[in-house]
Amino acid sequence: MASAAGIVIEVAEDGRHLSLDRGFMVVSVRGTEIGRVPLDDIAVLIGTAHGLTYSNNLLLALLERECAVVLCGRNFSPAAILWPVDGHHAQAQRMRAQAEITDAFRNRLWQAIARAKVRNQGAVLEALGQPAGAFAELARRLRSGDPENIEAQAARRYWPLLFGPDFRRDSDEPGINGLLNYGYAVLRGGTARAVAAAGLHPTLGLKHSNRSNPMCLVDDLMEPFRPLVDILVHRLAAAGQREVDRDTKRVLAGILVQDLRTEAGVTPLGTCLFRLASSLAHLLLGERQVLDLPLSPLPLDLVSPHTRKEGAHGAQRVSPDVDDGDV
Amino acid sequence: MVLSAYRLMWMMVMFDLPTVTKPDRKAAAKFRNFLLDEGFEMSQFSVYLRFCAGTSQVEARIGRIRANLPKRGKVQILTFTDRQYQTMVCLEARTKQEPAARYEQFKLF
């Protein structure tokens, strides 16, 4: 019953206790309930507070629903993601196919993913009126397995064009880097959930193979979506919001319900992640030929959607960008 | 960015279940617990509310309720949009209240 584009919950205050009551996650402080959320609606649960306690029953119920539980450390970079051991009925078969993948196949998959990322970086720059022609060209030149490391070349051009020549991407820095970390943490949670639901193993990556990273495949599959976080952060920074606070978190957590164009029509990013992971599983078993990646966003899709104010009724909606047209 | 494809809906489930005999009371409690497990919150006795992200979710939930109905009794399901929900008038002990739960995509505790 869980939908791909659910609620993102963050517990950031000390002294909170999270527990299970029937179909709800209950948040309480010193025994007093302060809120409850239906379990089926939760997509990602982010724990950032130090003095935070969970009940085991709650964690089990969340894992049953393939909800991603992300434990964040300093600067909102994820320290751990809780992983359901049993994610999909055909999991054993799919993981075996994943382990037996050939280098050539892995390289071709990475080519498709990296191309989509570079293309999306170009789309983001274009939406901001920056010169982006080189990115389409770089994406075209990107060969199987990316032997020339065009992904890194693109990144070297991308960051200065996006945030100015003085910007350094450094996950320990505050400000813009903190905002990026937070947006990526939400995105990583959503991707982890999709990978689990598709019955794939998160550690067996395509390009990422860092020995200490247990989430290589998650980091691979989220690559094409990172530029969408980047443009949200750019917009926040341009509006003078550089702190990771309640307002900016709300905007960044909305990344999973942002609409993207796909071959099959417009769907939220959370759903695109599910479709990408499941298409990869089908590809590994030879049941499919291409990865199900969203189409590159048009500049118009990326133009300042979150700046619009709340509806006339003062209602807080699922995202600030809901079509309010008819009732 | 338009969320029109999965328009925001609320479901209200209202029921009258017999509670005279012990098996009836047991069936009524079971149905009530089923609604709670599905994420419905009590709005009043025998009136339960739940947010749904779109009409397909509404239909799926109606199907599940149908599959878990007690043998006897009456259940009515009403669905309406989030905007209509926001215009609900709530009166409690002669004072006007805001509708209890509001749907937010991001929750911070």
- Contact criterion met (CB below 8 Å) for A70 and A189: yes
Model pLDDT for residues B33-88, shown as the tens digit of each residue: 999 999 999 999 999 999 988 788 899 999 999 999 999 999 999 999 888 888 88
Could you give phi then psi for residue A165, rounded to 5 degrees?
A: -65, -20
* Option in B3, B33, B105 nearest A253 (CB): B105
**Residue in the block written with tokens 């929750």:** B107
Nearest to A323 among B2, B53, B86 (CB): B2
Q: Which of B10, B30, B37, B105 to mutate to test the interface with A (most CBs of A within 10 A)?
A: B105
Q: How far is CA A82 from the centre of its chain?
A: 16
Of A9, A41, A314, the CB nearest to B39: A41
Minimal CA separation from A21 to chain B, in Å = 8
Q: To the nearest whole angstrom, how far is the Cα of B108 from the nearest Cα of chain A?
A: 5
Q: How far apart are CA A94 and CA A98, in angstroms?
A: 6
How crowded is the C-beta side of A20, counted as CA atoms within 13 Å? 15
Q: Under a CB-based contact definition with an 8 Å cutoff, are residues A124 and A227 in contact?
A: yes
With an 8 Å Cβ cutoff, are B1 and A325 in contact? no
Compute and round to an integer the Cα radius of gyration of chain B: 16
Residue B59 corresponds to which tokens in the numbers above? 């239909």
> What does the block give as tokens for A58?
């709650």
Which position has the token pair 């948040």? Answer: A27
The answer for B 76-105 residues in CB contact with A (under 8 A) is: 81-84, 86-87, 102-105
CB B50 within 8 A of CB B11: yes
B33, B105, B108: residue with CB nearest A319: B105
The ipTM of this complex is 0.82
DSSP state of B109: -
**Least Cα separation, residue B23 to chain A (angstroms):** 22
**Of A137, A192, A128, nearest to A159 (Cα)?**
A128
Cα(B36)–Cα(A23) distance, integer angstroms? 6
User: Mapping DSSP to helix (H, G, I), strand (E, B) and coil, where does residue A70 land?
Assistant: strand
At A61, is the secondary structure helix, strand, or coil? helix
Per-residue confidence of chain A (327 residues) as pLDDT tens digits? 455 567 888 898 889 999 999 999 999 999 999 999 999 989 889 888 888 999 999 999 998 888 889 888 766 777 788 878 777 788 888 999 999 999 899 999 999 999 999 999 999 999 988 888 889 999 999 888 888 899 999 999 999 999 998 888 887 788 899 999 999 999 998 998 899 888 898 888 888 776 667 788 999 999 999 999 999 999 999 999 998 888 898 889 888 888 888 888 888 898 899 999 999 999 999 888 889 998 888 776 776 554 433 333 333 333 434 444 443
Which amino acid is located at A28 in the chain?
Answer: S
